Amino acid sequence: MPSRPLVNFVARRLAALVLLSLGITLIAFLLTHLVPGDPVRANLGQAAQFDPKAIASFREHYGLDKPLPVQYERYLVHLLHGDLGQSEQTHNAVTHDLGQAIPATAELAVISIVIALVVGVGFGVLSAIRRNRFTDHLLRFVSLGGISAPTFWLALLALYAFFFRLPWFPGGGRLDPEFTTPPHETGLYTVDAVLNGQWATAANALHHLVLPALVLALANVGLLTRYTRSAILEVIGEDYVQAARAKGMPERTVVWRHALRAAMPSLITVIGLAFANVMTGSVLVEKIFAWPGIGQYAYESAISLDLPAIMGVSLFVALVYITINFVVDILYGVIDPRIRVT
Amino acid sequence: MAALLTVENLSVTLPGPEGPLTIVDGVTYSVEPGTVFGVAGESGSGKTISALALLGLLPLGATVEGKALYDGRNLLALSKRELRDVRGREIAMVFQDPLTALHPMMSIGRQLSEHMRRHLGLSRQAARRRAGDLLGDVRIPDPAGALNAFPHQFSGGMRQRIAIAMALACEPKLLIADEPTTALDVTVQAGILRLLDDLRERMGLSVILITHDLGVMSSIAKTITVFYAGRVVEYGASSGVLRRPRHPYTRALLAALPHPETTGTAPLVSIPGSPPAAGRFPSGCSFHPRCAYAIESCTTDEPPLVERDGRRFACPVDPFRDAA
Amino acid sequence: MTSTPAQLPVRYRFRVRRRRPGAARPIWRQPLAIIGMLIAAVWIVVAIFAPLIAPSDPLAQNFPPFLHPSGAHLFGTDELGRDIFSRVVYGTRLTLPLALLLVSLSMLIGGLLGMVAGYFRSWVDGTVMRLTDLVFAFPAIILAMVVTASLGPSIRNAVLALVVVSWPTYARVVRGLVMSTGDTEFVQASRLLGSSARQALFRDVLPNVIGPVIVLATLDLSNAILLLSGLSFLGLGAQPPSPEWGAMVATGTDYFQNWWMSTFPGLAIFTAVLAFNFLGDSLRDIFDPRSAAGGPRG
């Protein structure tokens, strides 16, 4: 049974999460009512546009003739039933389109974050313990470069170098055309293929993941290296680190157990930031690598002013984001017992 | 009785903006087993650094000279690995601020047992049991519960006890206590000192007690060394040093202690001037600019530590030779 | 602390200033800062003297398209026969002032709101915090995309959208600083000496808040450049035929084999961003130095 303070802490954060979610739905709702233009004309097909019955029923369904608060209420009700409306572009339910797009981005995001974490934190610790020596300067320079390079440019350079010039990697998409998509279980091609013993498919999917994941990871590697370095440096001078040495613990343990743990709270903040970077980056990277994910979806719906799709995507992305922040908050409490009392 | 630790001519420099600064300048003393050895001095006198040097815990860029003989080995010449085996196992340290000396995010049990497992090869359960016993020894209420708790849940005095327990976990022979009571309330201080004395008696522990507070010193130290500007200026049995100091600095320090008998109108005595900054020690006797008894030669000749009447002190002028 | 001889309590004359913790090396001794300043200076000079530096009109389609970089065309020509070097040069006149505008507006709006929230606390603080929470919930680019798309893609709307997205960071930082400075004893002392809330705010709290905000702004400048060019890359910012760097990279994507079309504008973005990151980093070291690991203990 987890301790009382921890349970209370989680409960409070959860309540805040729910409130924030509500606020987000309001924002999403208001945002899309900013858009000039008649949603009726936009949503209905060519023929139905002039059919008064179709118009009337559409108006009814979405409560467009009612005042704004009522519309919002309708919207919330639909939301709770999992109805995000119908995309004007594809004429599919937005939830369906999202369902297709989410796993694609998830696959990319997870791999890219893992790479960024391992490399970034590793570099950061290295940089901190070799402070002001050559390794440190080199790593600081590289990480600065990583966060300064525009993601879309890097993606293009990567494609040019490793697809066009040296044909090591494919130029886009999730699978080569000769492969069929594996049976849908998670939507993550690699996982689905492995689950069904389709090793060649899995390998191919992985092959397609490499370039976009690396490009996405680069900005985060830079970020994590810098933050880890400063987080470690902040704690390395503390008495408890010195006390650990005085106990006879090997330097390796002192750094990776004592110092890193004390630096965790700062690091966890960055992980939230890293996810945000991945979301932002995915819009650009997915466009360049023709990756059918959320970023691509968001872009397409934005430029075609597909209202339900925009609302759906914004809502989804915002919810994911605040959930991640919520998890981060909880992790704070788990890592640092002093926080549980706040 | 053979000394446990003999320090000979220890000098330490630390990197400064314009070159290395001398923090400790040729310090010599020895610690007997089973005694409390007091090191007194103001901040900046080099007392902490000289102790850190023994355990090889100096910051990057520090240089060390001299010898520190412990158990037949020179601590200052040990390799990193040998030092690691000495730290915590033979010689342990307790730091000044118990709030920052304990890791805020690790449980007490973990902090107490991790080095026990390393040095003594204990299993997780055995180490935990022993940790519980240690907490009992330092009189922490509910040791079993304390093992799962975190430092911020305890008061300052209890944290210091925990830190002491942590230091003694592997039964070292020598404990270096750097200002162990300075960050604590006066009422709590006595308890900590009593604990240290108790441990000394029960375990045959030797303690190097570093403090600027002579009152603290007087209660448990057997021998006292007085540091000034990186050098030892007086050294001898504590009762003697505190009651009949021979060095002007020691005397001035003692005179500066507020006495309960003085009436409210008596002015507070202080030593004129301020201690010299590291690396900028005055020539000759470092204390001469502030000394009421300084003569011409004090500004040029560095006074050696000389033994007289069972006391060692560094003042050729020796103005209190016949004082009561 | 600077102070005038006391003529208290008639008029509040003390200017209380927090001593800057530690003295870090001055900015001209840090190599990264120098490099950053140099590169930034180069770009600024290019922006100012663009017509003199660019060999041709950025919009003039005078040349054969798709020429490789050469002596005549340092960066080659694009699909419409325009000299890319000239376009990159003129691009500075878009990117740099706009990024500056973006940062200034965000800093102003966010800073003001943050200051008010941090100083007056209570419901004001609560409202501002909820607002920032809401904006923070949306990843920058999604929000910016939606706002720009709904208002119509143009560079002006892109800037607007990005201001909406960026002000909360300043609000949060300034609020935090105001709150922590306001709690310090010297500000309380000045209030006790009789200064009004507004005076205390402007004379005591503000000077101590400016430093970190400047650091933030400098680093944010680089972020602004990235976001602006990102939006333009997506077609939601600068519209053709503007020689905006991000938009140029986008065009280059369609003509992949002509690598110079995307590489040079991208390089321009990269170096500009790098310059401000170097600068911001060094500024941060000055305003918030972490002393060298350990110092001599007593």
- Beta-ladder partners of B13: B22, B63
Which range in A324-333, B139-148, C137-146 is most confidently predicted, on average pLDDT? Answer: B139-148
**Site of tokens 């760097």:** C245
Among the three residues B131, B153, B170, which one is the final residue of a domain in this structure? B170
Q: What is the pLDDT of residue C7?
A: 35
> Which chain A residues touch B101 with a CB distance below 8 Å?
239-240, 242-243
Q: Count the neighbouring beta carbons within 10 Å of the beta carbon of residue C38.
A: 12
Q: Check: CB of residue B168 under 8 Å from CB of residue B131.
A: no
Is B320 within a domain? no
Q: Which chain B residue is nearest to residue A337, measuring alpha carbons?
A: B105
Do B134 and B226 share a structural domain?
Answer: no
Of C293, C294, C298, the CB nearest to B44: C298
Do B176 and B157 share a structural domain?
Answer: no
pLDDT tens-digit readout, B58-106:
988 889 999 999 988 999 999 989 999 999 899 999 998 888 899 999 9
Q: Check: CB of residue C238 under 8 Å from CB of residue C94.
A: yes
Is B113 within a domain? yes
> Which chain A residues touch B163 with a CB distance below 8 Å?
243
**Partner C contacted by B72 (CB < 8 A):** no
Do B204 and B145 share a structural domain?
Answer: no
> Which chain B residues touch A239 with a CB distance below 8 Å?
95-97, 100-101
Q: Could you list the residue range(s) of the whole structural domain that residue B141 is in?
A: 101-170
Among the three residues B170, B189, B208, which one is the final residue of a domain in this structure? B170
Do B139 and B51 share a structural domain?
Answer: no
The pTM score is 0.77
Q: Check: CB of residue B242 under 8 Å from CB of residue B217.
A: yes
Q: What is the pLDDT of residue C21?
A: 43
pLDDT tens-digit readout, A234-253:
888 888 999 999 999 998 88
Is B321 within a domain? no
**Partner B contacted by C295 (CB < 8 A):** yes
Q: How distant is the Cα of B178 from the closest Cα of chain C, in angstroms?
A: 10
pLDDT of residue C289 exceeding 90: no
Q: Which of A115-124, A305-314, B118-127 has the lowest mean pLDDT?
A: A305-314
Q: Which of B108-122, B223-237, B287-301 has the lowest mean pLDDT?
A: B287-301
The predicted complex's ipTM stands at: 0.85
Residues shown for chain A: 342
Q: What is the pLDDT of residue C292?
A: 30
Q: What is the pLDDT of residue C6?
A: 38
Q: How distant is the Cα of C108 from the closest Cα of chain A, in angstroms?
A: 23
pLDDT of residue B263 exceeding 70: no
pLDDT range class, residue B264, cuts 50, 70, 90 = low
Do B236 and B216 share a structural domain?
Answer: yes
Q: What is the pLDDT of residue A215?
A: 92
Do B105 and B79 share a structural domain?
Answer: no
**Partner C contacted by B39 (CB < 8 A):** no
Q: Which helix (H) or strand (E) holds C21?
A: none
Q: From the candidates A153, A234, A254, A316, which should be mutated to test the interface with C, based on the most C CB atoms within 10 A? A: A153
pLDDT range class, residue C293, cuts 50, 70, 90 = very low
Contact C293 B48 (CB under 8 A): no
Contact A243 B93 (CB under 8 A): yes
Kindly tell me the burial class for residue A191, based on how many C-beta atoms sit within 10 Å of its own C-beta (0-12, 13-18, 19 or more). Answer: middle
pLDDT tens-digit readout, C227-285:
999 999 988 888 888 899 999 999 988 888 888 888 999 999 999 999 998 888 888 77
Do B294 and B165 share a structural domain?
Answer: no
> Which chain B residues touch C295 with a CB distance below 8 Å?
59
Strand (E) positions, chain B?
Answer: 5-16, 19-31, 36-40, 63-70, 73-74, 91-94, 174-178, 206-211, 223-228, 231-237, 306-308, 311-313
pLDDT range class, residue A302, cuts 50, 70, 90 = confident
> Which chain B residues touch C298 with a CB distance below 8 Å?
42-49
Q: What is the pLDDT of residue A171?
A: 81
Do B193 and B165 share a structural domain?
Answer: no
> Which chain C residues touch B14 with a CB distance below 8 Å?
296
Do B255 and B151 share a structural domain?
Answer: no
Q: Check: CB of residue B175 under 8 Å from CB of residue B208.
A: yes
**Partner A contacted by C145 (CB < 8 A):** yes
Q: Which chain A residue is nearest to residue B55, measuring alpha carbons?
A: A246
Chain-wide mean pLDDT for chain C?
79
Among the three residues B170, B185, B220, which one is the final residue of a domain in this structure? B170
Q: What is the pLDDT of residue A245?
A: 92
Phi, psi dihedral angles at C45 (to 5 degrees): -60, -45
Contact C150 A36 (CB under 8 A): yes
The residue type of A248 is: G
Taking residues A195-223, report their average pLDDT. Answer: 88
Joined tokens for residue C144: 């910016």
Chain-wide mean pLDDT for chain B?
87
Q: Which of A14-18, A33-37, A279-283, C130-134 has the lowest mean pLDDT?
A: A33-37
Do B158 and B178 share a structural domain?
Answer: no
Do B284 and B152 share a structural domain?
Answer: no
Instruction: Please state the domain extents for chain A.
Output: 1-89+321-342, 101-303
CATH number, residue B226: 3.40.50.300
Contact C296 B14 (CB under 8 A): yes
Q: What is the pLDDT of residue C99?
A: 94
Q: What is the pLDDT of residue A120?
A: 92
Of B21, B42, B49, the CB nearest to C297: B49
Is 1.10.510.10 the CATH number for A101-303?
A: no
Residue among C212, C216, C214, C221 nearest C276 (CA):
C221
Contact B45 C297 (CB under 8 A): no
Joined tokens for residue C6: 């006391």
Of C146, C270, C294, the CB nearest to A310: C146
Residue by residue, DSSP assigns chain C as -B-PPP-TTTS---B--PPPSS-PPPGGG-HHHHHHHHHHHHHHHHHHTHHHH-SS-TT---S-TTPPS-SSSTT-B-TTS-BHHHHHHHHHHHHHHHHHHHHHHHHHHHHHHHHHHHHH-HHHHHHHHHHHHHHHHS-HHHHHHHHHHHH-S-HHHHHHHHHHHHHHHHHHHHHHHHHHHHTSHHHHHHHHTT--HHHIIIIIIHHHHHHHHHHHHHHHHHHHHHHHHHHHHTTSSSPTT---HHHHHHHHHHTTT-THHHHHHHHHHHHHHHHHHHHHHHHHHHHSPPPPS-----
Do B73 and B147 share a structural domain?
Answer: no
Distance separating alpha carbons of residues B65 and B26, to the nearest angstrom: 8
Is B324 within a domain? no
> Which chain C residues touch A145 with a CB distance below 8 Å?
274
Q: Name the fold adopted by C30-52+77-292.
A: MetI-like fold (1.10.3720)
